Amino acid sequence: MSSTAIVSASDENYQDAVKAAVPLLRAGEVVALPTETVYGLAGNAFDPLAVAKIFSAKERPSFDPLIVHVAHRADLERVCVIPEDIQPTVEKLLNAFWPGPLTIVLPKHPDVPDLVTSGLGTVAVRQSANKIFRAISKELGQPLAAPSANRFGRISPTSAGAVMRELEGRIPLIVDGGACSEGLESTIIHLTAGEKRPTITILRPGPITKEMLQNFGKVERPKRPRDGSAPTAPGMLPSHYAPRTPLLLIENAADFRPQPGKRYGLLSYTGEPGKGYVSLHRWAAMETLSPGNGKLPEAALRLFHLLRKLDEAELDYIVAEPVSEVGLGVAIMDRLRRAAAPI
């Protein structure tokens, strides 16, 4: 692959994008598409060669399974088999949150290639709310396997420009649908029937928060191995979403001990002098997640974009302020912790 084309699209006008993307996808190619969470690198989920191209363009290890996106709810039965005991809960969750940023892990249909699920007996399924994504998937008539359109372990892209910086020359086409409206990857859950109420395990926190899921069952986070050994569930790799510049997530201001002569940049929550870490140091650069009062949805939306900006600011270190771990703050802190983990 030598050059990567970009075609522009909007919610009102996406015909050119459909015309450019669908023939490529039919031919077993991969295309970067906007979703409401982050940009995805999409390929026909039933075509193992297309799926292999997703892994190779991203340099993603084959043990990390992909999310499958369905255009219609009816397509669910093509990709998974919903156990009877959780069927009513799945139905309620889909009515509440689909199309939208909720991914559910369900037993896989035998037709889904093993490469998609990394050999697991389960498949992660989602229905994107992005109009452009859905129009392309409907026209293709196939579910799309689509992980985030970044190289493995790097920051997820929330704009077409960010995809270009990650995958230029590796994929034939990027559909530019503008900035993503959520900016953080989908919430991933797993369900078990339970005796009285179903249990909803949040495998990856995201825009659909614990608080939003609590009406549908008992919500829990997976237990992490105590000995610090490798996580058993996929999607829980400690080091992920990482900028190239080392990121320090400083949970207490007193722990910040800058080395002389080094350039530190701040990822601030509100950017207000006297609040957070704004006045803690003479920062070589500063970006603000949610100027003024600080709003978590705005912070989530801007997180990856601003991390990418700081990564390009020729700093020695990026310092991130913690945000409060309620609602969307849980997903933001999850991404910051993984970005900060040593590689």
Among the listed ranges 162-170, 228-236, 305-313, 330-338, the one in contact with ligand AMP (CB under 6 A) is: 228-236
Site for ligand AMP in 117-136 (CB under 6 A): 117, 120, 122-124
**Are the CB atoms for 301 and 182 separated by under 8 Å?**
yes
Pairing between β-strand 31-33 and β-strand 100-107 as defined by DSSP bridges: unpaired
- Binds 124: which of Mg ion, ligand AMP, none (CB < 5-8 Å by kind): ligand AMP
Shorter beta-carbon distance to ligand AMP: residue 156 or 268: 156
Among the listed ranges 6-14, 42-50, 60-68, 84-92, the one in contact with ligand AMP (CB under 6 A) is: 60-68
Shorter beta-carbon distance to ligand AMP: residue 58 or 317: 58
> Three-state SS string across 31-56, please?
EEECCCCCCEEEEECCCHHHHHHHHH
User: Is omega for the bond preceding 322 within 30 degrees of 0, making it cis?
Assistant: no
At 168, list the tokens: 């230029």
Q: How far is the CB of 117 from ligand AMP (least distance, A)?
A: 5
> Helices (H), strands (E): how many in the chain?
10, 15
Q: How far is the CB of 194 from Mg ion (least distance, A)?
A: 30
Shorter beta-carbon distance to ligand AMP: residue 124 or 286: 124
153 binds ligand AMP (CB under 6 A): no
> In whole angstroms, what is the distance from residue 290 CA to residue 85 CA?
42
203 binds ligand AMP (CB under 6 A): yes
Give helix 329-340 / helix 296-311 axis angle, nearest 10°. 20
CA dist list (Å): 265 to 250, 268, 287: 13, 9, 8
DSSP string, 275-287: STTTTSS--SEEE
147 binds ligand AMP (CB under 6 A): yes
**Are the CB atoms for 276 and 293 separated by under 8 Å?**
no
Which residue from 44, 89, 127, 148 is in contact with Mg ion, where contact means CB under 5 A? 148
37 binds Mg ion (CB under 5 A): no
Shorter beta-carbon distance to ligand AMP: residue 20 or 124: 124
DSSP string, 118-133: TT-SEEEEEE---HHH
Which residue of this chain has its Cβ atom nearest to ligand AMP in the complex?
A: 235
Among the listed ranges 17-25, 69-77, 172-180, 233-241, the one in contact with ligand AMP (CB under 6 A) is: 233-241
Nearest one of 153, 277, 93, 256 to 105, comparing CA atoms: 93
Which residue from 9, 173, 175, 188 is in contact with ligand AMP, where contact means CB under 6 A? 188
Nearest one of 315, 171, 164, 333 to 243, comparing CA atoms: 315
Among the listed ranges 81-89, 227-235, 257-265, 320-328, the one in contact with ligand AMP (CB under 6 A) is: 227-235
> In whole angstroms, what is the distance from residue 132 CA to residue 276 CA?
39
- Binds 235: which of ligand AMP, Mg ion, none (CB < 5-8 Å by kind): ligand AMP
CA dist list (Å): 188 to 205, 218, 270: 7, 15, 28
Among the listed ranges 44-52, 82-90, 231-239, 262-270, the one in contact with ligand AMP (CB under 6 A) is: 231-239
**Are the CB atoms for 265 and 285 separated by under 8 Å?**
yes
Which residue from 36, 75, 166, 185 is in contact with ligand AMP, where contact means CB under 6 A? 185
CA dist list (Å): 238 to 121, 229, 232: 23, 10, 11
- Binds 43: which of ligand AMP, Mg ion, none (CB < 5-8 Å by kind): none
Mask for 248-287, x = binds Mg ion (CB under 5 A): ----------------------------------------
187 binds ligand AMP (CB under 6 A): no
235 binds ligand AMP (CB under 6 A): yes
Binding site for Mg ion (CB under 5 A): 148
Binding site for ligand AMP (CB under 6 A): 64-65, 67, 105, 117, 120, 122-124, 147-148, 185, 188, 203, 233-235
